[in-house]
Amino acid sequence: MSGWIYRKSFAFAVATTVVVLAGSIATMAYPMLRADMHPRLEALKPPTPLQLAGRDVYQREGCVGCHTQTVRPLPSEVARYGDYSKAGEFYYEHPFLWGSKRTGPDLAREGGKRPDGWHRRHLENPQSFFARSNMPSYAWLAGRPLDPAEVTDHLNALALVHPELRTELAAVRVALAGKDEMDAVVAYLQTLGAAVPRQSPRAADLSIPNPVANDPTAIARGKQLFADNCAVCHGDEAGGQEGVAPSLVDDVFLGQRPDLPDAAYFAMISGGSDAKPIEGRKGQPDGGMAAFGSQLPQKDIWSIIAWIRAEKAHEAAEGAKAPAADHR
């Protein structure tokens, strides 16, 4: 008896359409209207006018065409870029800038990994950091003024979805005063992934000695490894670059004296720094540093430290000679 519907093609088409639409609404449309489908990470802060202006510049210049902003939950991606992306970190993203092509690296966890000065210099001349980079220079962003009216319009649009952003409207002109498009892009980059808790550098046993200390072969290898991985920020001779990375041949560690033993350096290189002190030391270090523990074997990290110590000893010896030469 139920076979009659198969003989009524029009009625069958209508019934099928109704069933499919009902199922789609129940499984897709309705859940999207529920609040629990739009989570927000506790640490996520509303974008400031400067950060929002930087996002606009990022979109305008097509950065999303070469950089993704999402880490898939694959072991290889998590090891390279950091913890996989969470839905709650995109609460204020309209539209999403996940991207689909990585001509350049993923930026989802870029915020806090490097100081502002590093980003500024990299945007001005990418090849000075990575010789083979095909990223164009954005030095012209410096000095280009921001338009408070445009940022206000964008905030108003976002406030239709997130009313809490209206509190930022009164401070747009103050927030953008004296800032240019370069400042805005850097401020935006520093927000990426900042709301996702990051694994702190693992506490190190400071009594652990460097197994390759004073080994000439390890020192030679450490010099090459430093040139390949560290010199771009810390300079060829580890003397540091102002606003980018500190010197590694002085007696300061994370902005404090005295210097710490090799094990502390190992913890920093392996686990990186998100501008937080490690080993329970008080105070805030300058900037941050990416973790190299997933890229370099432990022996290579120890070799880099062995070379740094050799350079520190060389610098100290040269410094001791200078007064004697002046006296003569």
Asked, for residue 22, whether it belongs to a domain, the answer is: no
Residues 170 and 250 in one domain: no
Ranking 16-20, 118-122, 254-258 by mean pLDDT, the lowest is 254-258
Residues 87 and 173 in one domain: yes
The enclosing domain of 295 has a CATH number of: 1.10.760.10
Asked, for residue 126, whether it belongs to a domain, the answer is: yes
Share of the chain above pLDDT 90, in %: 30
Residue 176 confidence class, pLDDT cut points 50, 70, 90: very high
**169 against 72, higher pLDDT:** 72
134-150 pLDDT, tens per residue? 999 999 999 999 999 99
- What is the reported pLDDT for 201? 53
Asked, for residue 55, whether it belongs to a domain, the answer is: yes
Residues 173 and 224 in one domain: no
Q: Taking all residues of the chain, what is their mean pLDDT, rounded to a whole number?
A: 83
**Residue 227, domain extent:** 216-320
Asked, for residue 198, whether it belongs to a domain, the answer is: no
Asked, for residue 43, whether it belongs to a domain, the answer is: no
Whether the predicted pLDDT of 281 surpasses 50 = no
Asked, for residue 326, whether it belongs to a domain, the answer is: no
Whether the predicted pLDDT of 278 surpasses 70 = no
Cα–Cα distance between 194 and 89 in angstroms, integer?
9
Neighbours of 253 (CB within 10 A): 20
* Residue that has been written with the tokens 């290189």 in this structure: 269
Computed on alpha carbons and rounded to an integer, the radius of gyration of the chain in Å comes to 26
CA distances from 152 to 167, 172, 258 (A): 11, 7, 48
Asked, for residue 106, whether it belongs to a domain, the answer is: yes
Residues 159 and 289 in one domain: no
Residues 165 and 93 in one domain: yes
Residues 78 and 133 in one domain: yes
- What is the reported pLDDT for 264? 83
Residues 162 and 53 in one domain: yes
